[in-house]
Amino acid sequence: MARWLLQILIISSLHLISLSSQKETRFVFEDFLDQEDLYLDASAKVHPNGILQLTNTSKYQIGHAFYDKPLELGSSFSTHFVCVLVKKQNIEGGHGIAFIVSPSMDFSHAQPTRYLGAFDASTLESPSSHVLAVELDTIWNPEFNDIKGKNHVGIDVNSPKSVAVAPASYYSDIERKNESMNLLSGEPIQVWIDYEGTVLNVSIAPLKVKKPSRPLLSHPISLSEIFPNISKLYVGFSASTGNAVSDQYIMWWSFSTDRGSLQRLDTSRLVELPYPTGTDKKLLALFIILFGCLAIVVSAILA
């Protein structure tokens, strides 16, 4: 009996040791001012207030930002980020932002426009030949299995031809239906990407909405098949413009190899957008207050 107990004790303590020796990687960028762990190239830059800009509204731009330490991505990872895409008035907005998993940070052969700075037009492949991308795409390219109506979210494996795609929308747990989203509204967009075992889930939602209970995309993916014999991978972002242009920003980014320990978003601490959005909201608030007062006065008169 005592030997049994001892054996159980030894086995369970060994288990604890192996669990604690498994490296968990997590990080959060509440702003991007500390660039020690950040690799930026081409048009990517950090503004003095801490927001990360991947492209501005010049034509044919590419910008990348990577966490510059290679990670051991085992059977799971989760990421949550807030981005914002801002088009110019009367000019078509494009092309989009992608979250990237790649064995290399060298995307010098990648192309702008619909290749999103992640793929090469001549081979239709990633210049690092292996890449997993989750795209927020604002231009319709039917040859890439895009969805009509421009605004869509897709999963790309080694090619800009999406293996899974859905119109930009989210499942509202309150309304119990899908709500469509305009990726170019100029409002911050939350994105969640969860990989566990053999499934990759993607969800998007406006800032005020909590993570939808149903993912927008849920697709079978195997990191070990996409990246055979590669144990170290980089994670980051890519964005591009073409004739269609937008300012494309990342405001906040959290990443973890363990979903449970992913740093949560505190919206009250988000960096400010580098353009004025306050005026419309203030005006709206004023209208609501005025209407409120009017309603009270009217109901007082009627009573």
Ligand X SMILES: *[C@@H]1O[C@H](CO)[C@@H](O)[C@H](O)[C@H]1NC(C)=O
Tell me how far, at minimum, the Cβ of 294 lies from ligand X, in Å.
Answer: 38
Closest CA to 139 of 194, 90, 97: 97
3-state secondary structure 147-165: CCCCCEEEEEECCCCEEEE
Q: E strand or H helix at 234, and its extent?
A: strand 232-240
The candidate with the shortest Cα–Cα distance to 265, out of 168, 195, 190, is 190
246's tokens: 């937008």
> Would you say 86 or 139 has its CB closer to ligand X?
86
Q: How far is the CB of 103 from ligand X (least distance, A)?
A: 12
Dihedrals phi, psi of 108, to nearest 5 degrees: -65, -20
Q: Smaller CB distance to ligand X: residue 79 or 111? A: 79
Comparing C-alpha atoms, which of 77, 118, 140, 121 is closest to residue 239?
118
Nearer to ligand X, 9 or 182 (CB): 182
Find the angle CA(42)-CA(46)-CA(47) to the nearest 5 degrees. 130
At 101, list the tokens: 């998993």
Q: Which is nearer to ligand X, 201 or 257 (CB)?
A: 201
CB of 165 to ligand X, least distance (A): 9
CB of 87 to ligand X, least distance (A): 12
Q: Give 177 or 269: the residue with its C-beta nearer to ligand X.
A: 177
140 vs 113: CA distance, rounded Å:
11
DSSP letter for 2, please. H
| CA 36/CA 38 separation, integer angstroms | 6
The least CB distance from residue 241 to ligand X, in Å, is 10
Of 104 and 218, the one with the shorter C-beta distance to ligand X is 218
Residue 63 beta carbon to ligand X: minimum distance, rounded to whole angstroms: 9
Asked if residue 92 lies in contact with residue 202, where contact means CB atoms within 8 angstroms, the answer is: no
Nearer to ligand X, 30 or 186 (CB): 186
Minimum distance, C-beta of residue 29 to ligand X, in the bound complex (Å): 21
Positions in the binding site for ligand X (CB under 6 A): 43, 56-58, 166, 171, 177-178, 194, 196, 199, 201, 214-216, 218, 228-229
At 140, is the secondary structure helix, strand, or coil?
coil
